[in-house]
Every structure is written in C-alpha cells, then in structure tokens.
Structure 1
Amino acid sequence: MSTLYRYADYLTQPIPESFPSPVRNRERINPLATGHFFPEFFVEEECIINGAALLGHVKQGISLHRLTAQPLVVAFYSVNWNGYGDRLLEQLYDSHAAIEAAGARLLVLSSEKKKHFTAFNPHPLPFDVAWDAQHLIARKAGIYKETDPLWGRVSGVNADVPTPAVFLVTPSLEITYSFTDQFMQQAFSPEALLAAIEKKLAISA
C-alpha cells in the first residue's frame, strides 16, 4: 500500500515560507556615545587582574571618580572575541605609551576573570586590567543586554559577552570619544583616540 498521501489529511493549512524570528521584538543595546556621561562604577579589589598606574595600590576598591583625575580610556575586552579581541588588545598595548604621553590613563575591563584572562594573555601588561563581574559596567555603558546577545549578531562568538567598545572619559565623566562595534566589522583606530585626547587637553589648557 502506498504511503505517498497518508499524512495529507493533516496539512489543513499552508506551511509558511518563513517563521518569525524569536528575537524580532528584543530590546536592543543602546551604547553610550560622545556627549553622554559615563555612569559611576566601582572596581572591587578582588576584581583587579593587573594593577598598574591606576589600580596598583588599591586595597579596598576604587570608584570611577577617583580614576578620572586625568582623562581615562575605558576599553572593554573579551577573550571570546577571538582574533578581534587579540587585535584590540595588541593595539592598546602598542598605543599605551602614547596614551599616557598625551596625558590620559588606560583601563581595560575584561569579561573574564583573572585566571581565564591570563591563560590567554600570559605576558605582563603595562596598563590596568579589571574583571567586569556580571558585565555590570558593560550594562551601564549600554553595550550588554541579555535580550540582545552579541552571539545573536556575530557568527563565531559563542559566549554571552558585551559588544566591543572604547570610551574616553573626562574628569567630569563626559565621554569625548566613543567607539562601539555591534557587528564586529569595524577597525578601532588608536590614532583617532589619541587625537581626541590631545584635543580635549588642548581645550582644557
């Protein structure tokens, strides 16, 4: 007996050509931008991965206000960005001396704890690195939401991590330079960051 049409009676309605996306109505991330003010945050002592000029002598944690006596570059990083993250950290390493010479400091906020971070970056770093536990600071920066995961936008990212971002924050907490890359298709420009630092200090002089 032929089974060619045995399930035909169950197809009472046409099959849709496409199904609606389960995340079509998701709440999107809303990154901070130039002209905004960076919300206050606190770095706990146990979250310090690498202590340098900013965090080297911290014993009980430190607030953003105390980190911004000079303009502060706040850069987010994750090992789960793969080669993109490697390039960004290398660019920050290469431009760190120029950032400090221009009158600013650099703070890198890692999505991973110290053990995981140092497993991928075993060499000494000249700048401060801290763990952004539960992505609390990334949430404040508008670059992380559970409802708009990076892995849902970028193929090859298989972890729940923030969007790449770099900000220049003044002592008044105003953002005078911002770089965010929601689809990881752009190239961070250290030259643009340095120009923003020099412009800010020239205005302040």
Structure 2
Amino acid sequence: MSTLYRYADYLQQPIPENFPKTGYHREKVSPIQSGQRFPEFFLDRSDVIRDAGLLTQGASIHTLTSQPLVVVYYSIHWNGYADTLIEQLKALQPAIEAAGAKLLVVASEGRQAFENVNGQVPFDVAFDADKHIARKTGIYKKSDPIWGFVAGVNEDVPVPAVFVVTPSLQIRYAFADLYLEKQLQPADILAAIDNRVAISA
C-alpha cells in the first residue's frame, strides 16, 4: 500500500504565507564621525603586539595623543584587503611621522595570529581584546556582523576604519569601509594631520 499521503491528515497548523523576518530590528554598525570625540580606552601591557615607541608599558588614549594619532583598525580575516592595508601602512608611516603624528594599528587578533601573518612591522600594534575599542567607536556590533553583508569574511570582526585624533581627542578625519570596497586615502589622512597642526599653532 502506498504511504505517499500517510501523514497528510496530521498537519496541525497552516503554513504562513510570509515568514517573520529575523534580525529586522537589529542595531547596525554605526562608526563615529569626524568632529566627534574619540572614546577613552586603556591598553594593558599584555595587549601590546608591537612596541615601536608608543606602547612601552601599555597606554591610555591620553598618553598616546600628546601629538596627533592615526588609529587604524585591522583584522587578518579581511583576507586580501588586510594584506593590502598592511603594505599601505608600511609605505605611509614615514609620511605620517614627518607630518608630526604617530600611527597606531588596533588589531582584532592577538600577537601570535598577527605575527604569523605579518611578521614584524615598523609601527605600533595593539590587540583589541573583546573588541572593546571597536565597540566604542561603532565599527563592531554583535547584532550586525560583517559576515552578514560581506562575502568571504567568515569571522566576527569589526569593519575597517581609520581615525585621525587630536590631543584633545577630537576626530579630524574618519573613514570606515563597511563593504571592503574602498582604499586607504593617504592624502586625506595627511591633510587632516596638517590641518590639526595648523589650528593648534
């Protein structure tokens, strides 16, 4: 005997024509903008991946901004985008320092993972444990993961971002690349540093 329709009479509830949308009210990534104040943070000595002069004993944002500071977020899980970013930063660092600023890279991964991919780099690098700084700057939201809108990124990491921060913690330049489709703009970064120096003179 055929059992094709054996369980047809046991359907208890009608099938909805429209299923409810999941995550419809999720809080989305919202990076802080130029003109806003950069959030305060403290880096413990254990968070230091590479000390190139700024992070000898760990540091707070206040000790890091005695001069303009360029803060760049990084993750190895951005794949080729990450590799390109590191090479751009290596080329840009001398110009940043010549303009009177310092470069700090904030990584989503710890020392071993970072160095396995990049080896030694010439600038300061710190580990953002538990995405503490990324959350404060709005470039990471657990409810709006980057892997949900960028193909090829399979880890829960922040989106790329760059900020030029003054000693008063004002953001002179803000760049965020939510879809990993833009490139670093060295001229804009250097112009923001020069602008800050001119204003403070």
TM-score (norm 1): 0.90
Are 2:38 and 1:38 aligned? yes
Amino acid corresponding to residue 94 of structure 1 in structure 2: A
Amino acid corresponding to residue 78 of structure 2 in structure 1: W
Q: 2:174 aligns with which of 178, 184, 191?
A: 178
Q: Which runs of 5+ in 1 are unaligned?
A: none
Distance 1:133 1:199, change over 3 A: same
Q: 1:86 aligns with which of 69, 83, 88?
A: 83
What is the match of residue 113 of structure 1? 110
SS of the equivalent of 2:169 reads coil
Provide, for residues 41-64 of structure 1, a one-character-per-residue CA deviation record: whole Å limited to 9, x for no partner. Answer: 111111111100212xx23x2111
Are 2:94 and 1:97 aligned? yes
Deviation at 1:130, TM superposition (A): 0.7
What is the match of residue 13 of structure 1? 14
Provide, for residues 46-96 of structure 1, a one-character-per-residue CA deviation record: whole Å limited to 9, x for no partner. Answer: 1111100212xx23x211101001100011100011111111111111111
SS of the equivalent of 1:138 reads helix
What is the match of residue 150 of structure 1? 146
Are 2:61 and 1:67 aligned? no
Deviation at 1:187, TM superposition (A): 2.0
SS of the equivalent of 2:187 reads helix
Q: What is the alpha-carbon root mean square deviation over aligned residues?
A: 1.7
Amino acid corresponding to residue 29 of structure 1 in structure 2: V
Amino acid corresponding to residue 103 of structure 2 in structure 1: L
SS of the equivalent of 1:196 reads helix
Deviation at 1:12, TM superposition (A): 6.0
SS of the equivalent of 1:90 reads helix
Q: State how far apart, in whole Å, the 1-side matches of 2:164 and 2:155 are.
A: 26
Q: State how far apart, in whole Å, the 1-side matches of 2:177 and 2:54 are.
A: 26
Deviation at 1:3, TM superposition (A): 5.2
Q: State how far apart, in whole Å, the 2-side matches of 1:76 and 1:21 are.
A: 32
Preserved contact between residue 92 and residue 190 of structure 1 (Cα < 8 Å): no
Percent identity over the alignment is 54
SS of the equivalent of 2:46 reads helix
Deviation at 1:178, TM superposition (A): 0.4
Q: How many residues align?
A: 200
Q: State how far apart, in whole Å, the 1-side matches of 2:38 and 2:3 are.
A: 66
Are 2:56 and 1:77 aligned? no
Alignment of 1:125-144 (within 5 A): 125-144=121-140
Q: Which runs of 5+ in 2 are unaligned?
A: none
Q: State how far apart, in whole Å, the 1-side matches of 2:186 and 2:75 are.
A: 18
Amino acid corresponding to residue 37 of structure 1 in structure 2: R
Preserved contact between residue 39 and residue 141 of structure 1 (Cα < 8 Å): yes
